[in-house]
Structure 1
Amino acid sequence: MSSDAPDHDQDVPASRVETARIEQEMEQSYIDYAMSVIAGRALPDARDGLKPVHRRILYAMHEAGVTARASHRKSSSVVGETMGDFHPHGDSAIYDALARMAQDFSMREPLVDGQGNFGSIDGDPPAAMRYTEARMSPIAEELLADIGKDTVDFSPNYDGRKQEPDVLPAAFPNLLVNGSSGIAVGMSTNVPPHNLGEVIDATIHLIDNPDCTVEDLMEHVVAPDFPTGANIVGRNAIYKAYKTGRGRLRVRAELETSEDRIVITELPYQANKSRLIERIADDVNDGKLDGIRDLRDESDRDGIRIVVELKRGANPDVVENQLLESHLETTFGVINLALVDGQPKVLDLKETLEVYLDHRREVVRRRSEYDLEEAEDRAHILEGRLTALENADDVVELIQDAEDRDAAKAALKAAYGFSDDQVDHIVAMQLGSLTSMETAAIEEEYESVQEEIDRLETILENESELLGVIKDELREIKSSYADERRTRIIEDTGEVTDEDLIPQEDTLVVVSEDDYIKRMSLSTFKAQNRGGKGIIGADLKEDDRVSSVFLANTHDYLLCFTNQGQVYKLKTYQVPEMSRTARGKSAVNLLDLDEGEEIEAVVDCDDLEAGTGRYLTMATRNGRVKRTAVEEFGNILSTGIRAIRLAEDDALVDVELTDGDTDLVVASAGGMSIRFAESEVRSMGRDARGVGGIKLAADDHVVGIAAIGDDHDWLLTVTDNGYGKRTPVDAYRQQSRYGKGLIDIKTSDRNGPACAIDAVTPGDQLVVMSEDGQIIRTPVEDISTVGRNTMGVIVMSLDAGDSVASVAVIPSDRAESSD
């Protein structure tokens, strides 16, 4: 190695060393990157409403002559020219942007006229770019109109070979018309599309009234106008979005509802139809949506049509409300963020239009200056030609005498003072232009050019004339392209719950031993005289029997107590309403019942407010009684909770709501009863077993418990064979609990065992239902008043083998309203 060779291991001092804190360097680098993303990729320019990729695609199509009047070009060709000349990013990103501009469900006014598969509202992706073709749509040309007249600034492209526009001239406010969405670093934009005609009207109003308010402009731009139509709920959110540049719009699908079906004809903007249908179907299968039996997509090129077939007996309003709540209403978050002078800014409605107007004013001014310069140049040429024609003989002679063309030009300039441009045209004139007709044509053109010069000078000198040009051009675009509004505005009625859509009425809820459940309007069953057979109340399947019937209002929350000591919470309207002859719906779809678990008692829990000193008092088959404060039942799980702990051979048979000061009467199937003060049963927790209430004979069991209040006159007892009686409550003397009690009713072969006991008052009515599904409604005062140890009278006539399954009492105030 030569001794003169440099020693690479030798330290060489740096010419300049700067010390920098790493956190500051990283912060500045990140800010530079963020601003590059914000300005160069993610956010639209407030002037033309375009991001760089969209602007470059349209300009590349313009440069390649792929206009609305040209034939379609392969999308791959457009993407290739855009990528090669202007947008040095991946072809898939460019093609995605191109495809979106061709989608009539994404753009209010599509900027690309596509041919082939450019995707669908089902979320299907566009076909490969080699299969599709594209060209500019007619309205896209309005964004590029006059771009060759020095109307906008140009900058070098990424490699300096070409020039690209910083912004397009934009003959209409594209940011509002087509909207925009994008995510930058630390910020995002989401501008909704609008109706072209409304936006132009608002722009013209702003030109005429520069001091107008956002409220004034909203008389023209009433709301966003989505390409997919649908409905915007409420006006307050629209006003906030236009006033502040931010807001949350509720967008609701358009529905047509009938008794047996719901037809969806318009979807919220950006909803994926296929995924929406899948989610609805999943919720139906999971039991989250009730009342739907079929779901079909009948959409075609004419529009959206999704048919939701309803089950028999389903409430269409409730199903519609559930669909809206979970699937058919979305939120569009408005963030009107765009670049203004290269900086991101949130704009209100007026500011958005003002930025556009300032841009358009500059475009028209620069175009007028360009046209004026062109017109003045042409007038200058025409002036020279006219002078030459006036002196045609001398001009011809001068040219003939000249040695060459340059000498002829010099002679003309010396003789008449022509400029270089003028003599170039004069020397190039043909002899045919010396005719009188050609002279007249030149004179006419000169006058026309002078008029154009005067017009352009007026525009440049007079602001109102310039604004008048902008207004005229906007009106022309509106006339050519505007269409009717698609999105409607509906009033916000607040949150509508399923309960709001259900009429309040008293119903009878019937449950069978095989856990079929249904409800029927109480008015279906008119009061009859006692002793009749009644009418059919349920068409049971073979070997099934009615287990219970109870009265409830459709808006009531019910506590359903089962024989196994569990309690469930249920809204009455959730029980399907069906006809008298219908079997019902399996209760497992409503309550998480175990095998062999049956509903034995129902309590209206609208009365269960904590701190009221009220109790749920329970009686078991083996004679135990338990009292628990209503606060213990404030949070009932969907799978139910334990209400009472039972012995293996015991079962819950009845529950009463008490206030701590009533007397309780426990009745047995053998016709025995005992009355004692409620206070003798101390309040216990849900997991307790209770205390002894009545001592039973070996073959006897409890059938019910009644709470006697001050307003009760009688105790009503009904037996299995359809007999019953009223007895004054005074006939039942108070005893200590856990005694044998007194005879309540004779349980002979005619009567059969007792099956129900209730405290009643004048005006009350009785609903008795048999195990075979017969039902009768009769006034309690039709039933004879007799003593305790008596047989009673026939209440319901039963067929052989049938027996009473359940008894419900209709209080006098509710009995009158349902007659």
Structure 2
Amino acid sequence: MSDFDNKNVPPEEQEGRIIDVALSEEMEQSFLDYSMSVIVQRALPDVRDGLKPVHRRILYQMYQDSLWPDSAYRKCMDTVGKTLASWHPHGDASVYDALVRLAQDFSLRYMLVDGHGNFGSVDGDPPAAPRYTEARMTKLSVAMLDDINKDTVDFQPNYDDRLKEPTVLPSHFPNLLVNGSMGIAVGMATNVPPHNINEVLDGVCCMIDNPNATLDDLMEHIKGPDFPTGGIIMGRSGIRAAYATGRGKVVVRSRTEIEEEEKSGRSKIIVTEIPYKVNKAELIKSIADLVKDKRIDGITNIDDHSDREGMRIVIDVRRDASPQIVLNHLFSLTQMQISFGVIMLALVDGRPEILNLEKILKKYIEFQMEVITRRTQFDLKKAQDRAHILEGLMIALDFIDEVVAMLRAAKSIPEGKAALMERFDLDDPQAQAIVQMRLGQLTGLERSKVEEELEGLRAKIADLLDILGSEARRLGIIKDEAIDMKKRFGDERRTEIAAISGEVDIEDLIPVEECVLTLTRYGYVKRQKMENYRTQKRGGRGVSAMSRREEDAASHIFVTGSHDYVLFFSDMGRMYRVKCYEVPEGSRTSKGMHIRNLLPLQGDENITSVVHLSDLDDDKFLVMVTRRGVVKRTKLSAFNNVRKAGLIAVDLDEGDYLAHVLVTGGSDELIFSTRKGMTLCMREEDIRAMGRAARGVKVMRLGEGDAIVGMDQLRDGGRVLTVTETGFGRLSPIEDYRVQKRGGKGLKNYHVDKFGDVAGVKVVFPEEDIIMISSDGIIIRISAGEVRQCARPSKGVRVMRVQEGEKIVTLASAPKEETEETDTELETEQ
């Protein structure tokens, strides 16, 4: 029968063997016990000494082993092993990791352990094994344990009741603020930033001098966090919020400078300090990855020149790139700028509590008042005990002959002690001291020394009693000790606090200029400066617009301002919005970034139309037309709140896709064109405004195999430009295109059976330039005034030489460029 089988066990024998409890109650109680154990015994620091139990036990073990700053280093394995055996019954790795952190100058603002050997690096390199590394206490950690043997703190039994360990260290400086603390408990976490010891001790003195000091008074002394790795804190609002409530966010930025080489004209960004807890090696790798993915443009090389003299990361900036813009992209996209979330959570009387700056300082002062009181009481008792002994010795010296005679007559020491106690009214300690006197102490000189010592002790006792009876005296001692700590350990602040916020608007640093935005059929997008494309003579071959790739070709070309909004519309009817400068800049022949690295496209989704806006005017409309001729008009205000994942712009029929989108003023005249040479001109008001997700209505009847290839606005003074896939084009007066009703077949615009299908139709002005791109990636920019004007549906003139097997795929208009390049010059350039 199993021990746990109660079926045949009498009830009287079952008692005490198995206890039935509800599973939910047991789980709740067990998890609560576990949570409190983690909170109190593992993860959170005590507000009084700023230490977690593991750190406190490590330092106490080193104190027990007398590993003073001027003593020899001791193997870390020895300290770790003794800490585990005596105080901390957990994994050895946890103890060693905690010891290592106390010895890292990039983790603690003021190190509490002096390490010898490899204790890791800011690059994330792991420390050497504890059998190789050595350690001893620092002068500051000794100051944390000063007076611990004077009954200044409570002791408790260790885990197996063999020894006594301190529940807290006396800590004669506010270590919680000075070195900070980080920890994750159950359902809570702490993240206290480190501070400059001079400023914190000045804050303590301020609180002592003025118990009603306000936060502003304290911040006159405690300016803000002071991280061991330096850096720059951007703005004071986050600091103030953290100090006022115990929670806040502090923006920390790398310290950088821009160096310019006079000969080459190139710029370098030099990083000399990085934010607290940032891994330098991972930071450099993340920058390289962003450059590789073309999310950051303008960086040509990254080198780490850091050495024992300090940190130095060198970032080479391309000659034509703005180093300030590159730097701000780095701040925005990498850990060169971070938000340090402040959570000043600590244990107060064994309970976790969020503390503001004022309460942390008050709790520290209260603790030091207790430490000084207990230390004074210890010193007082010791002085009183010694004075009591000396008073007995003085009696013995006054009656030395009688004392000697009594001791000689006694048969034993206890008998002699008893005789002295009865004769001179002494107690046992006094009688014992007299019995133990040496003959040399019977001289007159020794008597005077006893008198002097007794007089000094009486003065000391009076002073100690005065300290115990005067709160002002005790506060004064705390202040004096704080000033002494400043003299011994104070140093200069490492982290600068800038007056401005870290939320720098990159747009303010980007020059306002015209750009050419290009998107290929394979989805590669890039932004180029307008100056890269000079005006050529009509009929020229053009220049390469991108890196040649088999079967790839430009599908869209767009001229826009660098600060304009760019709206991308996909074949699935979704809209995405970015600023033009967010599209990475590329050279004239570069491939560019894939659109999927810029926009979160779904599945087989592709971009089919791109428009730009200088502002989001609520009075404007978006007119959208599908390949099959379904048109929809929606107010632009319906797209004000564009999510990162995009918005539905139009509901599509199965098999249809969104082809063209136009921004209109609400009362424009629109022209629609088809591949087979038909056009339809109509008033915008004939298309009723619809909701964002509506389907739309039919704009014109399309013939077999026909499709919409263009849509534009008819503008006064403009001409209708028609360009074929074979490179022919013409300008026609707007008057040739009469306004018709929606839903008709339209007018004949071009004889496609003779001169090829229409690539696009656009309204241009004679003073503008025309930009065309062929399927082999060749781009040409010509003056619109050079294109012959003739009535529809005539052939026109050759506007671009297209090689056999290639065709024109898209066209755009742009402001006129004054400088012209001849074909001869272009051929040389190619």
- Normalised to the residue count of structure 1, the TM-score between the two structures is 0.75
Match of 1:707 among 693, 698, 713: 713
Which residue in 1 is equivalent to 2:592? Answer: 585
- What is the SS of the residue equivalent to 1:107? coil
Which residue in 2 is equivalent to 1:271? Answer: 278
User: Quick one: which amino acid aligns to residue 67 of structure 1?
Assistant: W
Which residue in 2 is equivalent to 1:603? Answer: 611
Q: Does 1:340 align with 2:342?
A: no
Which residue in 1 is equivalent to 2:791? Answer: 788
Residues 250 and 537 from structure 1, CA distance in 2 versus in 1: closer, same or farther, beyond 3 angstroms?
A: same
Residues 453 and 716 from structure 1, CA distance in 2 versus in 1: closer, same or farther, beyond 3 angstroms?
A: same
Q: Does 1:455 align with 2:458?
A: no
User: Quick one: which amino acid aligns to residue 735 of structure 2?
Assistant: D
User: Quick one: which amino acid aligns to residue 130 of structure 1?
Assistant: R
Instruction: Using the TM superposition, give the Cα deviation of residue 449 of structure 1 relative to its aligned residue in structure 2, in angstroms.
Output: 3.9
Residues 536 and 442 from structure 1, CA distance in 2 versus in 1: closer, same or farther, beyond 3 angstroms?
A: farther
Instruction: Using the TM superposition, give the Cα deviation of residue 471 of structure 1 relative to its aligned residue in structure 2, in angstroms.
Output: 0.7
Q: Does 1:729 align with 2:734?
A: yes
- What is the SS of the residue equivalent to 2:148? coil
Deviations 1:438-476 (A, max 9, x none): 676666555544443343233222221221111111111
Which residue in 1 is equivalent to 2:496? Answer: 488
> More displaced, 340-349 or 359-368?
340-349
Which residue in 2 is equivalent to 1:5? Answer: none
Which residue in 1 is equivalent to 2:581? Answer: 573
Residues 560 and 312 from structure 1, CA distance in 2 versus in 1: closer, same or farther, beyond 3 angstroms?
A: farther
Residues 563, 652 of structure 1: 8 Å contact kept = yes
Which residue in 2 is equivalent to 1:133? Answer: 134
User: Quick one: which amino acid aligns to residue 368 of structure 1?
Assistant: T
Match of 1:809 among 788, 810, 813: 813
Distance 1:194 1:717 in 2: 70
Deviations 1:187-213 (A, max 9, x none): 443333222112111111111111223
Residues 494 and 629 from structure 1, CA distance in 2 versus in 1: closer, same or farther, beyond 3 angstroms?
A: farther
Which residue in 2 is equivalent to 1:95? Answer: 96
User: Quick one: which amino acid aligns to residue 766 of structure 1?
Assistant: D
- What is the SS of the residue equivalent to 2:408? coil
- What is the SS of the residue equivalent to 1:139? helix
> More displaced, 204-213 or 494-503?
494-503
> More displaced, 795-804 or 159-168?
795-804
Instruction: Using the TM superposition, give the Cα deviation of residue 145 of structure 1 relative to its aligned residue in structure 2, in angstroms.
Output: 0.6
Distance 2:353 2:569 in 1: 61
Distance 1:598 1:775 in 2: 25
Residues 582 and 278 from structure 1, CA distance in 2 versus in 1: closer, same or farther, beyond 3 angstroms?
A: closer
Residues 94 and 785 from structure 1, CA distance in 2 versus in 1: closer, same or farther, beyond 3 angstroms?
A: closer
Q: Does 1:167 align with 2:172?
A: no
Match of 1:366 among 364, 374, 378: 374
Which residue in 1 is equivalent to 2:769? Answer: 766
Distance 2:137 2:296 in 1: 45
Residues 47, 359 of structure 1: 8 Å contact kept = yes
Deviations 1:350-390 (A, max 9, x none): 2222222111112112222222333344445556667777x
Distance 1:317 1:542 in 2: 34
- What is the SS of the residue equivalent to 1:403? helix
Which residue in 1 is equivalent to 2:825? Answer: none
Distance 2:747 2:349 in 1: 95
Instruction: Using the TM superposition, give the Cα deviation of residue 316 of structure 1 relative to its aligned residue in structure 2, in angstroms.
Output: 4.8
Residues 621, 635 of structure 2: 8 Å contact kept = no
Residues 511 and 340 from structure 1, CA distance in 2 versus in 1: closer, same or farther, beyond 3 angstroms?
A: closer
Instruction: Using the TM superposition, give the Cα deviation of residue 486 of structure 1 relative to its aligned residue in structure 2, in angstroms.
Output: 2.5
Distance 2:281 2:250 in 1: 23
Residues 666, 694 of structure 1: 8 Å contact kept = no
> More displaced, 533-542 or 110-119?
533-542
Structure 2 counterparts to residues 134-213 of structure 1, below 5 A: 134-213=135-214
> More displaced, 570-579 or 631-640?
631-640
Residues 413, 423 of structure 1: 8 Å contact kept = yes
Instruction: Using the TM superposition, give the Cα deviation of residue 477 of structure 1 relative to its aligned residue in structure 2, in angstroms.
Output: 0.8
Deviations 1:306-364 (A, max 9, x none): 44555675565555455444441444443333332333333222222222211111211
Residues 151, 364 of structure 1: 8 Å contact kept = yes
Distance 1:598 1:408 in 2: 110
Structure 2 counterparts to residues 656-805 of structure 1, below 5 A: 657=663, 662-663=668-669, 676-678=681-683, 691-692=700-701, 706-709=712-715, 711-712=716-717, 714-715=719-720, 728-730=733-735, 732-733=737-738, 738=745, 741=748, 758-760=762-764, 764-767=767-770, 788=791
User: Quick one: which amino acid aligns to residue 223 of structure 1?
Assistant: G
Distance 2:523 2:506 in 1: 25
Instruction: Using the TM superposition, give the Cα deviation of residue 742 of structure 1 relative to its aligned residue in structure 2, in angstroms.
Output: 6.9
Instruction: Using the TM superposition, give the Cα deviation of residue 144 of structure 1 relative to its aligned residue in structure 2, in angstroms.
Output: 0.9
Residues 17 and 564 from structure 1, CA distance in 2 versus in 1: closer, same or farther, beyond 3 angstroms?
A: closer
Residues 313, 577 of structure 1: 8 Å contact kept = no
Instruction: Using the TM superposition, give the Cα deviation of residue 153 of structure 1 relative to its aligned residue in structure 2, in angstroms.
Output: 2.4
Residues 180 and 806 from structure 1, CA distance in 2 versus in 1: closer, same or farther, beyond 3 angstroms?
A: closer
Instruction: Using the TM superposition, give the Cα deviation of residue 141 of structure 1 relative to its aligned residue in structure 2, in angstroms.
Output: 0.8
Deviations 1:140-199 (A, max 9, x none): 111111112222222333344333222221111122222233344444433332221121
Residues 502 and 644 from structure 1, CA distance in 2 versus in 1: closer, same or farther, beyond 3 angstroms?
A: farther
User: Quick one: which amino acid aligns to residue 585 of structure 1?
Assistant: G
Residues 632, 696 of structure 2: 8 Å contact kept = no
Residues 790 and 302 from structure 1, CA distance in 2 versus in 1: closer, same or farther, beyond 3 angstroms?
A: same
Structure 2 counterparts to residues 57-96 of structure 1, below 5 A: 57-96=58-97
Residues 740 and 400 from structure 1, CA distance in 2 versus in 1: closer, same or farther, beyond 3 angstroms?
A: closer
Distance 1:774 1:232 in 2: 48
Residues 455 and 691 from structure 1, CA distance in 2 versus in 1: closer, same or farther, beyond 3 angstroms?
A: same
- What is the SS of the residue equivalent to 2:560? strand
- What is the SS of the residue equivalent to 2:221? coil
Distance 2:43 2:598 in 1: 51
Distance 2:747 2:45 in 1: 88
- What is the SS of the residue equivalent to 1:243? helix
Which residue in 1 is equivalent to 2:243? Answer: 242
Residues 515 and 168 from structure 1, CA distance in 2 versus in 1: closer, same or farther, beyond 3 angstroms?
A: closer
User: Quick one: which amino acid aligns to residue 573 of structure 1?
Assistant: Y
Residues 540, 773 of structure 1: 8 Å contact kept = no
Distance 2:739 2:703 in 1: 13
5+ long unaligned stretches in structure 1: 1-7
Distance 2:673 2:135 in 1: 86
Residues 402, 408 of structure 1: 8 Å contact kept = yes
- What is the SS of the residue equivalent to 1:181? strand
User: Quick one: which amino acid aligns to residue 380 of structure 2?
Assistant: L
> More displaced, 297-306 or 433-442?
433-442
User: Quick one: which amino acid aligns to residue 172 of structure 1?
Assistant: F
Give the aligned CA root-mean-square deviation in angstroms: 5.7
> More displaced, 212-221 or 34-43?
34-43
Deviations 1:676-722 (A, max 9, x none): 435799799889997457999xxx9998665324x345446789999
- What is the SS of the residue equivalent to 1:151? coil
> More displaced, 307-316 or 221-230?
307-316
| Percent of residue pairs identical | 41
Distance 1:17 1:548 in 2: 81
User: Quick one: which amino acid aligns to residue 60 of structure 1?
Assistant: Q
Distance 1:442 1:496 in 2: 74
User: Quick one: which amino acid aligns to residue 275 of structure 2?
Assistant: P
Distance 1:469 1:79 in 2: 36
Deviations 1:384-411 (A, max 9, x none): 667777x6xx846974796368699899
Which residue in 1 is equivalent to 2:821? Answer: none
